[in-house]
Amino acid sequence: MKLTGESKFLLGIVVVTVALIGAAIFFFSRPAAPLQALPRGDLIPAGTYTKGNASASAYLVEFSDFQCPACQAFKPVVDEIVEQHKDNLLFVYRHFPLEQHEFAMDAAKTAEAAGAQGKFWEMYDLLFENQERFSSTTWPQLAQQLKLDNNQFETVKSTPTTSDRINRDRSYGLQIGVNSTPTFYLNGVKLTLTSYEDLRRAVENAL
């Protein structure tokens, strides 16, 4: 390849471009900003269901969807962590039903309705246990299993207050950047997890 004057000129442009890009990368690379913790009061609003020690300074929030397989997969790990650290940790459940999960909203309402009769966490267990067979008839069946008052159950399940609360959880989640489930916040800071071990380790380190 024989270079003409023009060729060399173009090469010069390439060199200048690369130099400019290099300089831009150098001067504009900022070290990653430390993660800001979200206010506890925002992550745990009134009426939110919690497990463990309410006066513990350490708290783990999970944005979850009862029809989400990943949430189901994480549950045993979460349960184990919560049980193991029940004196030093507060576990918080926030609803984040995903659009593509047909029964997620109903499941969430079912949990809330059970919660109104003091059995949120029992229903939480039942829902994840029965995730594979969610249908429109699942909810009363589960309520019966927990020996809930059926009338009150149905009322609370269908009242706007309940769906409002669930939607409020979801809106807040969207606002802070939750876009998949499960998403965990430990002491107000979002966790990036690649394995169940990561969650265990993060909680251990925080306690």
**Interface residues with other proteins (CB under 8 A)?**
1-4, 6-7, 9-11, 13-14, 17, 21, 179
Please name the amino acid found at residue 203: V
Q: How far is the CB of 184 from other proteins (least distance, A)?
A: 18
Q: How far is the CB of 167 from other proteins (least distance, A)?
A: 21
- Sign of the torsion angle spanned by Cα atoms 138, 140, 143, 147: negative
Q: Provide the terminal-to-terminal Cα distance of the chain, rounded to the nearest Å.
A: 67
Q: How far is the CB of 88 from other proteins (least distance, A)?
A: 33
Structural tokens at position 36: 């800001």
Q: Quick one: 21 or 70, whose CB is closer to other proteins?
A: 21
Q: Quick one: 11 or 37, whose CB is closer to other proteins?
A: 11
Q: Quick one: 70 or 174, whose CB is closer to other proteins?
A: 174
Q: Are 143 and 150 in contact (CB under 8 A)?
A: yes
DSSP-based three-state secondary structure for 96:
coil
Q: Quick one: 3 or 37, whose CB is closer to other proteins?
A: 3
Structural tokens at position 105: 């909203």
Q: How far is the CB of 185 from other proteins (least distance, A)?
A: 20
DSSP-based three-state secondary structure for 51:
strand
DSSP-based three-state secondary structure for 170:
helix
Q: How far is the CB of 188 from other proteins (least distance, A)?
A: 21
Q: Quick one: 17 or 57, whose CB is closer to other proteins?
A: 17
